[in-house]
Chain A
Amino acid sequence: MSNRVVNILVPVISVILGLLVGAIVMLVSGYDPILGYTALWNGIFGDAYAIGETIRQITPYLLAGLSVAFAFRTGLFNIGVEGQLLVGWFAASYVGIAFDLPMYIHLPFAIIAAALAGAAWAFIPGLLKAKLQVHEVIVTIMMNYIALHTTNALIKVVSDGGDNTGTINASASLKSAFFESITDYSRLHYGIFIALAMVLLMWFILEKTTTGYELKSVGFNKHASEYAGMNVNKNIILSMVIAGAFAGLAGAMEALGTFQYANVKGGFTGIGFDGIAVALLGANTPLGVIFGAVLFGSLKYGALNMPNEAGIPVEIVSIVIAIIIFFVACGYVIRYFLEKANKKKEAK
């Protein structure tokens, strides 16, 4: 078996194993797995509307995954995607409502505002890490709570005590009449192009620029980087800021695309935390993040159809989805067995 075959086989076998164990869970709980998986399939690919919504769901996962992956490449653990996303969400909504500008200014303005808000939010843990060696995990977790409650308060201010900012002006919207027409009025919006462009941007920064070279070098070995004359602190802050900008953009997707407003939230969206899994599933590479985001987005959205169509309770659905993802994350175990089988064959 060549390396390439193994690389393709591993995710395939992982997904199949995950589906099998998920089926057992459904069987044991007294539900029909075939019915369940048919519902999942239909939820993801069933019709044009489902496909549109699945892609819409993938969009913020892409950006959240990029955010975690980017920081990771510099040796930083960005748990703060959730908070950065929330401030981005609010910033984009605010700009979308407060200004009345031509679209070619307004839309980029709203998007950039979201990126800047996320970047600013991530700048604080970056600065604390670089200057005072405060661990970024602690700071970003706390910043998540601050973001949640600050944005909730700000939404109330903006909406005069309400819990919704109201719909953004059309000139700041990512809504796509064309996508609506081909996907049976799903909420699919142009944001997917922004997300894919950012995947390309991350690849470009890491693989083509001196900045990327420095970031990776600092991530691998701070001491050697310092000795080579790199500014380690600057790179730590920069890495967090770029990661925060990606997360802020994920917020913009929700603000300008999916929802067209920002509302008071009782808790976290979960996208930021799922972003950690997306990045890790994708081994922190740009291409891998696409894979992770597609898997996460599809399963999350498709699963919504399982209670409706197959009557499986939400709790069981969550377990099944978690099992599938669990098996994909355990890909290296499968790789291990494949390689062992390989060796045996060679030995003979």
Chain B
Amino acid sequence: MDYVIEMLGIRKEFGSFVANDNITLQLKKGEIHALLGENGAGKSTLMNVLFGLYQPEAGEIKVKGKTVKVTDPNVANDLGIGMVHQHFMLVENFTVTENIILGNELTKAGMVNIKDAAKKIQKLSEMYGLDVDPNAKIEDISVGMQQRVEILKTLYRGADILIFDEPTASLTPQEINELIQIMKRLIQEGKSIILITHKLKEIMDVSDRVTVIRKGEGIGTVITAETNPNELASLMVGRQVEFKTVKSEANPTDDTLVVKDLVVADYRGIDKVKGLNLTVRKGEILGIAGIDGNGQSELIEAITGLRKAKAGSVSINGKDITNKKPRKITEAGVGHIPQDRHKHGLVLDFSIGHNIALQTYYQKPISKSGIMNYKKVSELAQKVINDFDVRTQGEHTPARALSGGNQQKAIIGREVLRDPDLLIAALPTRGLDVGAIEFIHQRLIEQRDNGKAVLLLSFELDEVMNVSDRIAVIYDGQIVDTLLPKETSEQELGLLMAGQKKNSNIAKQGDTTHVE
């Protein structure tokens, strides 16, 4: 068998915790091999073992048939293993070339020879169809382009085995497609790829074989062509997973959130929301579908009070909350699961308990006359941890130490337990695995069934179609159409999101005429 990498029976322990147990992964030359597992299943640990950052307690690593000991990342580099990290390791104000040669500089008479390096990079870029400008500054290029720089970095150093760690996490759908093309090109040129992911769709699209790990254990390797997303999901989670979220018919009643002719500018002063109208009723989930950058963030920031509206109004249960302070809006009955959970959702250096109190710390019974009652904080935190299945060692664990899914569950727990009339969920499942996504969807539907209004913002069409009772399509700062999930299709939504005007149903949205 022609394996370029064989990891046999790998076991890695951290104290009493077994992160990897008897995992075997065999990478064939010229294949894309997916490594699938939930958040915290041990994928990154395994790859760090391969990359020399960790030493395994048991097991064997073979590269091209020869047993090797990867003692540190330099050894991995010498063996031709390169890693494209999820969080890019780039110097923002350096050029592409400077970043790529960093630590491996080409010199001529003691001086860095940027020109030749740039030529070499240009050649590599053309060879693999990466289309990267070697002289561009990192801060000026898109996230997708930055990722290509990471890829180039490994190629420049002569890697022929590339590890991609969650490469699509921060990419737009367009960029994801391009990345898939790049990966296929790399394979044609004789490289081999390990793709770490928990996105089943990507695996089905690009991989040849899949190795599944669950809670640190190797479950096995399957051939992609002989499996399906359902089987992969149950292998990964260890039980049957429902993709189609089960829910009853919605019974919407009174209007909760009413947004009228709202105009909001972004941080540069350019209008991003342009006279938007929107209504969310009690007992329904309204999904906003749209391509990133069409005013979604500004809309949500304006509703929650983080950004001033230039014109128009926002009201909750008939009460005007336009341009009120965030706390006033929260108290008016708005719960918010923010788009960026690390920036807005959590204080990462606070414990989970402290984070749970973030919205209510100044109220009874959490505090009284300015004195915190940490016993009550504890009780509340315990409740969130238990009811929302937040997997943590305890309420005193810093939020930073939790996985993304558990952080998100903690935020949702905090917001839902306040029992808000309107729950705004902005990209609530971004970066989460199937199990956590399922859990969060169920919670959103539960809120709806309790007669609350839910506003869901998502870039994933699947999610919008699956969870929403009504879908509002946003394009260029306006709602161009509102549809029912069962009466529309992904194709139709896709066209609307791209600004193709539909000729029916939108007569009342008369001011959308400038849309091409």
Chain A positions near chain B (C-beta within 8 angstroms): 208-214, 216-217, 220-221, 223-230
Whether the pair B343, A217 counts as a contact (CB closer than 8 A) is: no
Whether the pair A217, B347 counts as a contact (CB closer than 8 A) is: yes
Partner of A226 from B306, B336, B346 at Cβ < 8 Å:
B306
Q: How far is the CB of B302 from chain A (nearest CB, A)?
A: 13
Q: How far is the CB of B377 from chain A (nearest CB, A)?
A: 9
Partner of B345 from A216, A224, A226 at Cβ < 8 Å:
A224
Whether the pair A209, B370 counts as a contact (CB closer than 8 A) is: yes
Whether the pair A227, B338 counts as a contact (CB closer than 8 A) is: yes
Name 9 interchain pairs, CB-CB below 8 A, sorted by A: A208-B371, A213-B354, A221-B346, A226-B306, A227-B336, A228-B327, A229-B325, A229-B326, A229-B327
Residues of chain B lying within 8 A (CB to CB) of residue A221: 343, 346-349
Q: Is B359 interfacial (CB-CB < 8 Å)? A: yes
Q: How far is the CB of B305 from chain A (nearest CB, A)?
A: 8
- With contacts A220-B350, A225-B347 taken as known, whether A213 is within 8 angstroms of B357 at the C-beta atoms is yes
Q: How far is the CB of B17 from chain A (nearest CB, A)?
A: 14
Whether the pair B361, A220 counts as a contact (CB closer than 8 A) is: no
A221 (CB) vs chain B CBs: closest residue: B347
Whether the pair A208, B372 counts as a contact (CB closer than 8 A) is: yes
Q: Is B362 interfacial (CB-CB < 8 Å)? A: yes
B343 (CB) vs chain A CBs: closest residue: A223
Q: How far is the CB of B362 from chain A (nearest CB, A)?
A: 5
Whether the pair A216, B304 counts as a contact (CB closer than 8 A) is: no
Knowing that A213-B372, A225-B347 touch, tell me 5 more A-B residue pairs with CB under 8 angstroms.
A213-B357, A226-B306, A227-B326, A228-B327, A229-B325
Residues of chain B lying within 8 A (CB to CB) of residue A230: 327
Q: How far is the CB of B306 from chain A (nearest CB, A)?
A: 6
Q: How far is the CB of B55 from chain A (nearest CB, A)?
A: 10
Q: How far is the CB of A224 from chain B (nearest CB, A)?
A: 5
Residues of chain B lying within 8 A (CB to CB) of residue A211: 370
Whether the pair B343, A229 counts as a contact (CB closer than 8 A) is: no
Q: How far is the CB of B400 from chain A (nearest CB, A)?
A: 10
Q: How far is the CB of A60 from chain B (nearest CB, A)?
A: 29
Which residues of B (52-79) have their CB < 8 Å from a CB of A?
A: none
Q: How far is the CB of B15 from chain A (nearest CB, A)?
A: 8
Whether the pair B350, A217 counts as a contact (CB closer than 8 A) is: yes
Whether the pair B349, A220 counts as a contact (CB closer than 8 A) is: yes
Residues of chain A lying within 8 A (CB to CB) of residue B367: 210, 213
Taken together as a complex, chains A and B put the C-alpha atoms of A226 and B349 apart, in Å, by 16
Q: How far is the CB of B312 from chain A (nearest CB, A)?
A: 22
Which residues of B (304-346) have their CB < 8 Å from a CB of A?
A: 304, 306, 325-328, 330, 336, 338, 343-346
Residues of chain B lying within 8 A (CB to CB) of residue A208: 371-372
Residues of chain B lying within 8 A (CB to CB) of residue A224: 343-347, 358
Chain B positions near chain A (C-beta within 8 angstroms): 304, 306, 325-328, 330, 336, 338, 343-350, 354, 357-359, 361-362, 367, 370-372
Residues of chain A lying within 8 A (CB to CB) of residue B370: 209-211
Among A209, A213, A220, max chain B CB count under 10 A is at A213
A225 (CB) vs chain B CBs: closest residue: B347
Residues of chain A lying within 8 A (CB to CB) of residue B348: 220-221
B57 (CB) vs chain A CBs: closest residue: A347
Q: How far is the CB of A169 from chain B (nearest CB, A)?
A: 36
Whether the pair B361, A223 counts as a contact (CB closer than 8 A) is: no
Taken together as a complex, chains A and B put the C-alpha atoms of A3 and B306 apart, in Å, by 43
Residues of chain B lying within 8 A (CB to CB) of residue A229: 325-328, 330, 359
Whether the pair A209, B371 counts as a contact (CB closer than 8 A) is: yes
Residues of chain B lying within 8 A (CB to CB) of residue A213: 354, 357, 361, 367, 372
Q: How far is the CB of B387 from chain A (nearest CB, A)?
A: 21
Taken together as a complex, chains A and B put the C-alpha atoms of A212 and B357 apart, in Å, by 13
Smallest CB-CB A-B distances: 10 pairs: A229-B327, A227-B344, A220-B349, A221-B347, A229-B326, A228-B358, A220-B347, A210-B367, A223-B343, A224-B347
Residues of chain A lying within 8 A (CB to CB) of residue B306: 226-227
Taken together as a complex, chains A and B put the C-alpha atoms of A7 and B324 apart, in Å, by 48
A347 (CB) vs chain B CBs: closest residue: B57
A217 (CB) vs chain B CBs: closest residue: B347
Taken together as a complex, chains A and B put the C-alpha atoms of A217 and B327 apart, in Å, by 15
Residues of chain A lying within 8 A (CB to CB) of residue B361: 210, 213-214
Among A212, A225, A226, A228, max chain B CB count under 10 A is at A228
Among B328, B347, B349, B367, max chain A CB count under 10 A is at B347
Q: How far is the CB of B471 from chain A (nearest CB, A)?
A: 27
Residues of chain A lying within 8 A (CB to CB) of residue B347: 217, 220-221, 224-225
Residues of chain B lying within 8 A (CB to CB) of residue A226: 306, 326
Taken together as a complex, chains A and B put the C-alpha atoms of A220 and B347 apart, in Å, by 6
Taken together as a complex, chains A and B put the C-alpha atoms of A225 and B345 apart, in Å, by 9
Residues of chain A lying within 8 A (CB to CB) of residue B354: 213, 217
Whether the pair A210, B371 counts as a contact (CB closer than 8 A) is: yes
Residues of chain B lying within 8 A (CB to CB) of residue A223: 343-344
Q: How far is the CB of B398 from chain A (nearest CB, A)?
A: 10
B336 (CB) vs chain A CBs: closest residue: A227
Whether the pair A228, B371 counts as a contact (CB closer than 8 A) is: no
Taken together as a complex, chains A and B put the C-alpha atoms of A325 and B143 apart, in Å, by 46
Residues of chain A lying within 8 A (CB to CB) of residue B372: 208-210, 212-213
Q: How far is the CB of B370 from chain A (nearest CB, A)?
A: 5
Residues of chain A lying within 8 A (CB to CB) of residue B327: 228-230
Q: How far is the CB of A24 from chain B (nearest CB, A)?
A: 35
Among B336, B354, B372, max chain A CB count under 10 A is at B372
Residues of chain A lying within 8 A (CB to CB) of residue B338: 227
Among A214, A224, A230, max chain B CB count under 10 A is at A224
Residues of chain B lying within 8 A (CB to CB) of residue A217: 347, 350, 354, 358
Taken together as a complex, chains A and B put the C-alpha atoms of A225 and B328 apart, in Å, by 14
A211 (CB) vs chain B CBs: closest residue: B370
Taken together as a complex, chains A and B put the C-alpha atoms of A224 and B399 apart, in Å, by 13
Q: How far is the CB of A291 from chain B (nearest CB, A)?
A: 22
Taken together as a complex, chains A and B put the C-alpha atoms of A216 and B358 apart, in Å, by 11
Residues of chain B lying within 8 A (CB to CB) of residue A228: 326-327, 330, 358-359
A229 (CB) vs chain B CBs: closest residue: B327
Q: How far is the CB of A300 from chain B (nearest CB, A)?
A: 33
B360 (CB) vs chain A CBs: closest residue: A228
Taken together as a complex, chains A and B put the C-alpha atoms of A128 and B358 apart, in Å, by 27
Q: How far is the CB of A180 from chain B (nearest CB, A)?
A: 39
Residues of chain A lying within 8 A (CB to CB) of residue B350: 216-217, 220
Q: How far is the CB of A243 from chain B (nearest CB, A)?
A: 19
Residues of chain B lying within 8 A (CB to CB) of residue A209: 370-372
Q: How far is the CB of B379 from chain A (nearest CB, A)?
A: 16
- With contacts A220-B350, A229-B325, A229-B327 taken as known, whether A210 is within 8 angstroms of B362 at the C-beta atoms is yes
Taken together as a complex, chains A and B put the C-alpha atoms of A209 and B357 apart, in Å, by 13
Taken together as a complex, chains A and B put the C-alpha atoms of A214 and B304 apart, in Å, by 20
Taken together as a complex, chains A and B put the C-alpha atoms of A70 and B361 apart, in Å, by 21
Q: How far is the CB of A347 from chain B (nearest CB, A)?
A: 9
Residues of chain A lying within 8 A (CB to CB) of residue B325: 229
Taken together as a complex, chains A and B put the C-alpha atoms of A213 and B359 apart, in Å, by 12
Taken together as a complex, chains A and B put the C-alpha atoms of A211 and B371 apart, in Å, by 8
Taken together as a complex, chains A and B put the C-alpha atoms of A284 and B328 apart, in Å, by 34
Whether the pair A227, B349 counts as a contact (CB closer than 8 A) is: no
Residues of chain B lying within 8 A (CB to CB) of residue A212: 372
Taken together as a complex, chains A and B put the C-alpha atoms of A212 and B327 apart, in Å, by 18
Residues of chain A lying within 8 A (CB to CB) of residue B371: 208-210
A346 (CB) vs chain B CBs: closest residue: B15
Residues of chain A lying within 8 A (CB to CB) of residue B357: 213
Residues of chain A lying within 8 A (CB to CB) of residue B326: 226-229
Taken together as a complex, chains A and B put the C-alpha atoms of A297 and B328 apart, in Å, by 49
B367 (CB) vs chain A CBs: closest residue: A210
Residues of chain A lying within 8 A (CB to CB) of residue B328: 229
Taken together as a complex, chains A and B put the C-alpha atoms of A101 and B336 apart, in Å, by 57
Residues of chain B lying within 8 A (CB to CB) of residue A227: 304, 306, 326, 336, 338, 344-345
Taken together as a complex, chains A and B put the C-alpha atoms of A271 and B57 apart, in Å, by 52
Taken together as a complex, chains A and B put the C-alpha atoms of A195 and B182 apart, in Å, by 65
Taken together as a complex, chains A and B put the C-alpha atoms of A212 and B304 apart, in Å, by 25
